[in-house]
Each structure stands twice: as C-alpha cells, then as structure tokens.
Amino acid sequence: MNERIRRLRPYPMVELARRKAALVAQGIEVLDFGTGDPVEPTDPAIRAALVAGVPAVSQYPTIAGEPELRAAFAAWYGERFGVTLDAATEVLPTRGSKEAMFHLPLVLIDPSADARGVIYPEPGYPVMEIGSLYAEADTHAVVLTAANDYCMDPAAIPADVLAKARIVWLNYPHNPTGQDLPESLWRAWVAARDEHGFILCSDECYTEIYFGEKPRSLLEFGREGCLVFHSLSKRSGMTAYRSGMIAGDPDLIANYRMARAAMGQAQTVWVQHASRTAWQDETHVVARRTAFAQKRDIMIPGLEALGLSVYPTTSTFYVWVHVPAGTTDEAYAAALLARGIVVSPGSMFGHGNEGFFRLALVPSAAGCKDALERWKTL
C-alpha cells in the first residue's frame, strides 16, 4: 500500500458508523449527531422527477451533462449570488462534490513541478488532504482555531508556501465549525491568487444552510483561476443521489471535463432530472433551513444550560462545542456513547481540535430533546 496513504487517519465517518453499529448491536436506541447525513425526507417533486427520468433504454450519460441541468444550475447561481455563468463553458456536473474534490488534484497537480503544493484548512473536509496525497502533492495544512475565528487568511501563510502552491482550498461555510469568511478575506484570497498564480478552489456545499446573513461565494470576487464546488446533498436532502456541480474559470472547466471523460464520472440521466428540479425550486430549501433552525434552537440553549460552551456559529447544521475542563474529546464522546449519543470528537478533524466536539443536527426535534435529557445523566 502507498505509504502516504497508510499514514492517513481513519476516515471520520467510517469510524462513526462503526461506533453506531456497536450500539445498535447492543440494542441501544441511538441518537446520531455524528455523521452529517440529515434524515428530513427529500422533496416529493424531486423524487418524482427521479422516477420520471428513468429512460426505457439505458445508455451511457455524458460527462458534460444535459444542457437543461447546466442551465438550471447557472440560473440558480445567478439568482443566488448575482453572478452570470455560461452554462456551456463554465458549469460541469459531478457525482457529488466529494469525488470531484478528490479527483481535481490528480488532474491539476504535476508531481515533478516546483508548484505542486496543496493548501487546505485544518480542521476541514478530510478529502482535501486525501486527494492531494493520492496526487503526490506537497501538502500544507493551515491550522484554524478559535483564536483566528477559524478564518483562513493568506497573510498568515508564508510567502514561499503560497509561491509553490498549485491549489488552495477554502471551505466556507466551514465544516465543522459553521463559521463564515468575511468579505475582506474573500478579496484577500483572490488578490493572493492573482499574485501567486495558484488555483483557488472553494467548497461551498453549506451556503444554503444559514441562520443570519447569506453566505458569499468565491465567484462574486473573482473568476480567473477560481472554481467553486456546490452540492445538492445538504441543500436539498439528496446525499444518496450524489449530485454536485463545479463552476468557474472556463479553461479549468474544459481541462477538468476532458480528464473526467477518462474517469467515466458522469451523473446518471435520472439523477440529472431530479437535480434540475431541485435547482429550480427554493421552497423545499426554505423548509429544510427552518427544520434545522428549530433543532438548533433546542440544542444550543440546552447545551448551554448544561454548562457547555458553544462556539458562535452562523451557518451549517453543525454545532461546535467546547469539551468540559478536565476531560478530552475522545473521553467525553465515549461517555456520551455509553448513553446512546454519537458525536464527533474534534480530533477527528485534525490535530489541535481535541478541545471540541461536533454535533450534526440530524436527529428530529424530539430526538434533540431526548438527547438533552440523557446528557443530564453525565
């Protein structure tokens, strides 16, 4: 096995699934706040479009996707962020954002080049590091903490690291903390990209789950050398559909489309039909946001009433919580696990996060209340 891959930490969601399965095997009723896989039903219109999209004759889908799907995304993006996209040259459908983020370094990184670095946040989405290691890139983790408000700032990164970077990953709204990036830092990153010439990539899967001001998008501030990654998983409750979208610099899109043809990573036709319906509707998105807000309004005051300190958050359905003094994230998670409550220890998201744990607002409102009652027995 590749030694770089062998050294990786276990993938967090695999470990959480193992812990949950062990509880179920013991007959314990599980309240799973670990994996961010919401249980709110997918909108009926989306499900109907999926079924209606199954053709009588099954043939290979195209990598570029159907023009109607790309147009639906471009129209949504323009309405949401005020940015006009060319649906033919600046938009590309993917099988979810994770696989696209994993494959991108394989396409854009030349291991023999001087500029073969990948910069990514820690804590952050693990695939940013994993895909880079598979591509034989030099990796540089930017440590984010409460001290820097979990905001990546190019001024805090050595100039020689930026100069040798090929890809820089941003992830806002941020997983796992729910933090947003201020406009000043969006502009600073675009300026740094213009200076150093790296490709600036933004994972924006959580932009539609917010509880204050609407999160921003990278393409509002720049397009040359910039790519954004969007997904219907969280926005529309379509995690199993594996439906994502990349948009941005048309030259990068053209190169990536050519490479993806070799990988065979095309959305199925019926998922494209369902996705088009999802991008064209906002009613179900508002309903999902309202459901998450209700659970958030239960959990945050409830945790604070139990003496826990919750990091202030503006977006995502995650709650980032300080571990009580005198214990560790793993020990505290184990104590909750004994009561049938699954949470993600902060260390799963990278070194230096041992002082926190993450809750994904997945259980129902009733499940959230039940969890708080069980919490009282700690």
Q: Residue 53 in contact with residue 68, Cβ under 8 Å?
A: no
Residue 10 has pLDDT above 70, yes or no: no
* Model pLDDT, residue 29: 83
- Reference 185, options 146, 229, 149; nearest CA is 149
| Confidence label for 25 from pLDDT (cuts 50, 70 and 90) | confident
Cα gap 13→335, rounded to integer Å = 19
Note the pLDDT tens digit of each residue in 83-137.
Answer: 999 999 999 999 999 999 999 999 999 999 999 999 999 998 889 999 999 999 9
Q: Residue 243 in contact with residue 232, Cβ under 8 Å?
A: yes
Range list of H helices, the chain: 3-6, 12-25, 44-52, 67-81, 97-108, 127-134, 159-163, 183-196, 250-263, 269-279, 283-305, 329-337, 365-375
Q: Residue 177 in contact with residue 150, Cβ under 8 Å?
A: yes
Residue 16 has pLDDT above 90, yes or no: no
Cα gap 371→62, rounded to integer Å = 46
| Confidence label for 299 from pLDDT (cuts 50, 70 and 90) | very high
* Model pLDDT, residue 7: 66
Cα gap 56→238, rounded to integer Å = 24
Mean pLDDT of 189-196: 98
Q: Please identify which residue in the block is written with the tokens 């609407």.
A: 214
Kindly report the length of the chain.
Answer: 378
The three-state secondary structure class of 164 is coil
Residue 204 has pLDDT above 80, yes or no: yes
Domains (ranges, CATH) in the chain? 3-32+283-375 (3.90.1150.10), 44-279 (3.40.640.10)
Cα gap 362→66, rounded to integer Å = 33
Q: Please identify which residue in the block is written with the tokens 């009588």.
A: 56
For residue 145, the number of C-alpha atoms closer than 13 Å in the C-beta half-sphere is 8
Mean pLDDT of 249-253: 97
* Model pLDDT, residue 143: 95
| Residue type at 217 in one-letter notation | S
317: exposed, middle or buried (C-beta count within 10 Å: 0-12, 13-18, 19+)? Answer: buried
Percent of all residues in the chain with a pLDDT value above 70, rounded to a whole number: 97
Cα gap 310→308, rounded to integer Å = 6
Cα gap 127→215, rounded to integer Å = 22
- 299-308's contacts with Cβ under 8 Å and 24+ in sequence apart are 299/359, 299/361, 299/368, 299/371, 299/372, 302/368, 302/369, 302/372, 302/375, 303/372, 303/375, 306/372, 306/375, 306/376
Mean pLDDT of 350-368: 93
Structure tokens that stand for 194 in this block: 């213009």
Q: Which residues, including other chains, have CB under 8 Å from residue 348's CB and lie 6 or more apart?
A: 9, 12, 15, 16
> Read out DSSP for 213-232?
SPPP-GGGT--TTEEEEEES
The pLDDT mean for the chain works out to 93
- Reference 243, options 215, 279, 209; nearest CA is 279
Note the pLDDT tens digit of each residue in 316-353.
Answer: 999 999 999 999 999 999 899 889 999 999 988 887 88
Note the pLDDT tens digit of each residue in 101-114.
Answer: 999 999 999 999 99
Q: Residue 209 in contact with residue 289, Cβ under 8 Å?
A: yes
Cα gap 256→244, rounded to integer Å = 14
* Model pLDDT, residue 263: 87
> Read out DSSP for 71-96?
HHHHHHHHHHHS----TTTSEEEESS
Mean pLDDT of 308-320: 95
Q: How many CB atoms lie within 10 A of CB 224?
A: 14
Residue 14 has pLDDT above 80, yes or no: no
The three-state secondary structure class of 248 is strand
